[in-house]
Structure 1
């Protein structure tokens, strides 16, 4: 699928922040293959059914629902022949409010959720206001409006992960540090020292925010990246080891097998053909 090539972001200007398209247009671009974008893909679904796979998890699409695919996620639109709605493509810097920028920065985004009936009129209005603005001729005075309206849409959608980052400041710092350093540092002790927290304090904060230990959170993040590299980039175990900071392919393979139950080569071989 050539969706990435359709993005024409520039360093400045309205087109550099937000673009929109219908599912009809998405169907024209879709070749059934997987993709990994460096921008966010946020979809508001009017009607279904359909399906999309995000980071190796299949989601069945229904009416009045949302899909959020963050940068770096491997995804594939499996079945969207009957789906109607709109897709919003935006760079991480596009939202303008602190709360929505915090949501966009969150690496563990909820990929799919139904929109409650009580919220639907507000979501629908925010979505159409954004569509109207992105279809208007650009002008100097309107360059910030798409980001403002995108922030309104994100706030009205209120994704399930919305309350996690603001409620756990220790976890928020840990999450950001892991996202920046997981390729080089695999142990929880490094993050505790780097952030100035006692290991127990850090582990307790991560457990409260995610239900996982700090070590498990790091392992899960490394494994997710490994799967993305194996599936989309089709790297070998040796290349994955180098990319993810392991001393050699054997060390990486043991790590991967311990976490998933299968060697990386076998996991890669079991993937469906592109």
Structure 2
């Protein structure tokens, strides 16, 4: 369930050597996370949701550092590059779950949102409900194998997410044209870098597509595509430690020089120089 790269604490926790288990939801304490954390970057194909009882600490998600404080939450979606930077003083729990684990339609749609906040504070009025939902999930997740109520962790995960109310831009991204565009970009950005391709593929005039993307994100369709490619490039450079040439090949550029110019125009740095600034365990 984990991409190649650094050996991750999540893989060690989720699977024992030589064993594969169909587990939709797993939990662990920050104490256990500290034991497994190697200090390097992680990139999983499942969600990582943390409920923080006490801090301070910090986590970096897709190259943005977030402070971990009392009564806060962290959401790391699949494929995001992240690193637990400073968790020696953090108490709480981490929930790992596959994208299909939530049982309600509304929560599954929320989980699929690409613009969930990476970190937020839980209001004091909400905390007792979050704490109760978390504790019930922990109890059911620890049930012995063979328990007949195997779907209860998924049900309680949905309740916990609902109580946490993760901030997201769902209202802004509800435009149907933008949602189609976003899905197509996610599926094809490695092969197609121009907005015209997506307009043709979706059957919309370029101006209609651009207007929908602008209304939803404040960016042009071209800028949205560039940002997505740059994010993936940074993930590959930082976590997979690909060379710029390998990165160019993976992202559909004709050669390393073309990719280097693209990356420098978008970030102000050449890919090799940017890679050298990233601290990797």
Q: Determine the structure 1 residue equivalent to 2:53.
A: 46
1:212 to 211, 219, 224: 219
User: How many angstroms does 1:140 deviate by?
Assistant: 5.9
Q: Structure 2 CA distance, aligned partners of 1:152 and 1:250?
A: 49
TM-fit CA distance, 1:54? 0.7
CA contact (8 A) 2:172 2:215 kept: no
The separation in 2 between residues aligned to 1:197 and 1:130, in whole angstroms, is: 45
Distance (whole Å) between structure 2 residues aligned to residue 17 and residue 47 of structure 1: 27
Deviates more, 1:106-115 or 1:263-272: 106-115
Distance in 2 (CA, whole Å) between partners of 1:119 and 1:169 is: 32
Q: Deviations over 1:108-157 (max 9, x none)?
A: 33211111122222221211111111011234632222111111111221
2:138 to 116, 120, 131: 131
8 A Cα contact 1:103 1:162, kept in partner: no
Mapped pair 1:153 → 2:160: yes
For 1:126 and 1:166, the matched residues in 2 are separated by: 29
- What is the match of residue 90 of structure 1? 97
CA distance in 1, matches of 2:146, 2:179: 37
Query: 1:11 & 1:180 partners in 2: Cα distance?
Result: 28
Q: What secondary structure is seen at the aligned counterpart in 2 of 1:33?
A: coil
Q: Which stretch shows the higher mean deviation, 204-213 or 255-264?
A: 204-213
**Per-residue deviation at 1:36?**
1.0
Q: What residue number does 2:203 align with?
A: 196
Measured against aligned partners, the alpha-carbon deviations of 1:184-238 in whole angstroms (never above 9, x if no partner) come to 1111122222222232222222222222222111111100000000001110111
* Partner-residue secondary structure (3-state), 1:167: coil
Name the Cα RMSD after superposition.
1.8
Query: Which among 255, 263, 276 is matched to residue 269 of structure 1?
Result: 276
Please name the residue that 2:126 is paired with.
119
Q: Is 1:27 aligned to residue 34 of structure 2? A: yes
Structure 2 unmatched runs, 5+: 1-7
Aligned pair count? 271
Q: Secondary structure at the match of 2:78?
A: coil
Inter-partner Cα distance in structure 2 for 1:162 and 1:137: 39
- Corresponding position: 1:236 with 2:243: yes
TM-score (norm 1): 0.93
Which is worse superposed, 196-205 or 125-134? 196-205
Is the aligned partner of 1:170 residue 2:177? Answer: yes
CA distance in 2, matches of 1:177, 1:265: 29
Q: Note if contact 2:116-2:169 (Cα within 8 Å) is conserved in structure 1.
A: no
* CA apart distance, 1:166: 6.9
Provide closer, same or farther for how the CA distance between residues 17 and 53 of structure 1 changes in structure 2, counting only shifts above 3 A: same
Under a length normalisation based on structure 2, what TM-score does the superposition of the two structures give?
0.91
Once the 2 structures are TM-superposed, how far is the Cα of residue 48 of structure 1 from its aligned partner? 0.7
In the alignment, is residue 251 of structure 1 matched against residue 258 of structure 2? yes
1:46-93 per-position Cα deviation (integer Å, ceiling 9, x unaligned): 111100111111111111111011111111111111111110001111
Distance 1:200 1:169 in 2: 15
Distance in structure 1 (CA, Å) of the matches to 2:89 and 2:53: 10
Once residues 213 and 166 of structure 1 are traced to their aligned partners in structure 2, the CA distance between those partners, rounded to angstroms, is 14
Give structure 1 stretches of 5+ with no counterpart.
none
Task: Verify the 8 A CA contact 1:107 1:179 in the aligned structure 2.
Answer: no
